Amino acid sequence: MGERERLKELLRAKLIECGWRDQLKAHCKDVIKEKGIENVTVEDLVAGVTPKGRALVPDSVKKELLQRIRAFLAQHST
């Protein structure tokens, strides 16, 4: 497993741990209820949920991931 995959796994785990995934799932359900299941495409859902999803990522998760990326780059720069 490469570093990119490890970072993606870490991010996935951290987002689940902090409840982000559940919050986003609930938001998706709200959007579908609001617009009606027949009136929502996957594209609509992604467009409507992405900004909120990004905003809900805790700063601590962003910072940790950024630190790990910087450490990896520092270790592998020549």
pTM for the structure as a whole: 0.81
Domain spans in the chain, listed from the N-terminal domain onward: 3-76
> What is the tens place of the pLDDT at every residue in 22-59?
999 999 999 999 999 999 999 999 998 999 999 999 99
Q: Is 75 helix (H, G, I), strand (E, B) or coil?
A: helix
Torsional sign, CA 60, 65, 10, 22: positive
Residue among 52, 57, 9 at smallest CA distance from 30? 52
CATH 1.25.40.340 holds for 3-76: no
Here the tokens at position 54 are 């990004």
| CA–CA gap between residue 78 and residue 71 (Å, rounded) | 13
Q: What is the pLDDT of residue 38?
A: 94
